[in-house]
Structure 1
Amino acid sequence: MKKILYLLLLVSIMTSCGEYNKILKSTDYEAKYEYAKNAFEKKKYTQAYTLLEELVTIFKGTDKAEESLYLLARSHYLNKDYETSGQYFTHYYTHYPKGQYTELARFYAGYGYYLNSPEAKLDQSGTYKAIDEMQRFLDYFPHSERAKEAQDVIFELQDKLVYKELLNSQLYYNLGNYMGNNYQSAVITAQNAIKEYPYSKYKEALSMIILKAKFQEASQSVYEKKADRFRDVIDEYYSFINDYPDGPNAKEAKDIFRVANKYVKE
């Protein structure tokens, strides 16, 4: 019985492949168009976009060109080739700014780049591209039913950018005085991240790195500079504890304050 089912499946696959190869070589573009749409519906996205790439040019200037281009982009998207799909979605909404699928094209262009966004420690060019596309989607379609989802995506991607800066500032902090004053670099990196993204969920962690880096810099300073630098640490402490009085870093911050206060009172 299993053998019969296997043979039937094999025959079905061979027949399907034969039909596809036949339509691929055909010059009946209407038949190709219908086959491509049917392949798309059956989730055979490779077949769909292979046929549609030709049809977009063939149908140029017709209504079918618009739908073919959108389905071409969606086929690549659903096949998880987000970079290629983004290019086609962009091509679509550029050529059809008021087209039937323009809202969807703008959304999926950004969402595809979001799905393709690399982890925080890697280059974030793709993340910036995703944010830019999603922001433009909101600019053009502020009342879209997908507007909240787009805004949530932007916030998530911005947090990823902040997290990358958190990793960078932590790295500087860990390097300490190795080949230069890395504590100062840690402070500057963290401060810039807070300034650019003041509502990030990583703000407390960044603020704590600033406090710790300033404390280490003061502790390792020459005697003449210690008092002034510890005063700066105390100012930073008050700013931190005012924002996060019950945060997970509050105890460590208070320990830093007690040590800094001793130097200032001397």
Structure 2
Amino acid sequence: MQQRLILQVLLGAWFVFLLTSCSSFSKLQKNGTDDEKYKAAVEYYKKGDWYRAGLLFEELIPVLKGSTESELAQFYYAYTQYRQQQYLLSATLFKKFYETFARSDHAQEAMYMYAYSLYKDTPQFNLDQSNTLTATAALQDFINAYPDSQYRDECTKLILDLRQKLERKAYEKAKLYYRTSGFNIASYKSSVIAINNFQKEFPDSEYNEELAFLKVDAEYSLAQNSLETKQKERYQEAIGYYQAFVDKYPNSKYLKQAEKMYESSQKEIERLVKLEQEREKLKESETNRPAKVTAAN
């Protein structure tokens, strides 16, 4: 009973504090001078009250234009939005700051925070990665602009993290084409193309062994499902992919499966070559056959 009473008293006191605080802030917004609002905004900022600080800085920035306080107000305002997880807005504000105050002591930090805000706004790997590319470029631009910065190592780590996200996206895309290949022959081709592109862009990826095997499988399946006139060439492609796979991953767990496709491809090529030879012989025999002599009436 006593604990409940204490809790009610504390809640009541907190409620009164909130009402008083909101009331004083509203009065400041309505009746405070620019100087009072600026001092209050800085105080709110230092206390971590990003919402109130942001409201006041947003109101003051147009008024403070050209003053000594303008630079700090804009810098702090960008941070209030970042702290509220408004990353696209904070990125815009930080970019505007370092472009406007290029000689400021805060310019380097603002450029880093622009790139970092973009980084924080990047989506999961399975979504569109346009923002990831933008963030990567911004981080690289920062390293190029400030090669000796204290933020350089952090930017490098962030770029690697974003690259892993792009790598996972590309891997899943290649796998998706492979999974849907059984329903559409064009997907076999798309799968091989996507894997080739992945291997060029991410030569050191941990996914390359699996994808190298899937490329053999996709090309072999493409050959199987192709018109006879295109099969020989595509089985030869499958054998070429197999040889590249074996050279790079001689102890792969996929080796036995790949060998079966290799052996089957060789047999199919032999069969197709024999068919070609038989057709050629038939054509020659028809060409060399003497014309029929028709007796004159």
Alignment TM-score, normalising by the size of structure 2: 0.81
CA offsets 1:101-127 (integer angstroms, 9 cap, x no match): 122211221222212111222222211
Give 1:137-176 correspondences, 5 Å limit: 137-176=142-181
> 1: distance between equivalents of 2:252 and 2:148?
37
Give 1:118-129 correspondences, 5 Å limit: 118-129=123-134
Distance 1:109 1:238, change over 3 A: same
Higher mean alpha-carbon deviation, 157-166 vs 91-100, is at 157-166
> 2: distance between equivalents of 1:65 and 1:166?
48
Structure 2 residue aligned with 1:58: 63
Higher mean alpha-carbon deviation, 82-91 vs 200-209, is at 200-209
- Match status 1:189 vs 2:198: no
Structure 2 residue aligned with 1:217: 222
Distance 1:38 1:240, change over 3 A: farther
> 2: distance between equivalents of 1:205 and 1:114?
29
- Match status 1:132 vs 2:131: no
**CA deviation after TM superposition for structure 1 residue 247, in Å:** 4.6
- Match status 1:98 vs 2:103: yes
Alignment TM-score, normalising by the size of structure 1: 0.89
SS at match of 1:181: helix
Distance 1:2 1:175, change over 3 A: closer
CA contact (8 A) 2:185 2:222 kept: no
Measured on the aligned residues, the alpha-carbon RMSD in Å equals: 2.2
Letter in 2 for 1:240: F
CA contact (8 A) 1:159 1:201 kept: no
Give 1:55-94 correspondences, 5 Å limit: 55-94=60-99
1:3 to 8, 29, 34: 8
**CA deviation after TM superposition for structure 1 residue 253, in Å:** 3.3
**CA deviation after TM superposition for structure 1 residue 163, in Å:** 2.2
Letter in 2 for 1:67: L
CA offsets 1:1-45 (integer angstroms, 9 cap, x no match): 222212211121112112211221234222211211221222211
**CA deviation after TM superposition for structure 1 residue 249, in Å:** 4.0
> 1: distance between equivalents of 2:129 and 2:152?
23
Give 1:3-22 correspondences, 5 Å limit: 3-22=8-27
CA contact (8 A) 1:131 1:157 kept: yes
> 2: distance between equivalents of 1:22 and 1:95?
32
How many residues are matched?
Answer: 266
**CA deviation after TM superposition for structure 1 residue 144, in Å:** 1.6
CA contact (8 A) 1:166 1:205 kept: no
Letter in 1 for 2:200: K
Structure 2 residue aligned with 1:41: 46
Higher mean alpha-carbon deviation, 72-81 vs 126-135, is at 126-135
> 2: distance between equivalents of 1:107 and 1:255?
53
- Match status 1:116 vs 2:138: no
Distance 1:240 1:228, change over 3 A: same
CA contact (8 A) 2:223 2:230 kept: yes
CA contact (8 A) 2:213 2:254 kept: yes
CA contact (8 A) 2:185 2:225 kept: no
- Match status 1:236 vs 2:271: no
**CA deviation after TM superposition for structure 1 residue 74, in Å:** 0.7
Letter in 2 for 1:3: Q
| Larger-gyration structure (1/2) | 2
Q: Which runs of 5+ in 1 are unaligned?
A: none
Structure 2 residue aligned with 1:208: 213
Distance 1:36 1:209, change over 3 A: farther
CA contact (8 A) 1:169 1:209 kept: no
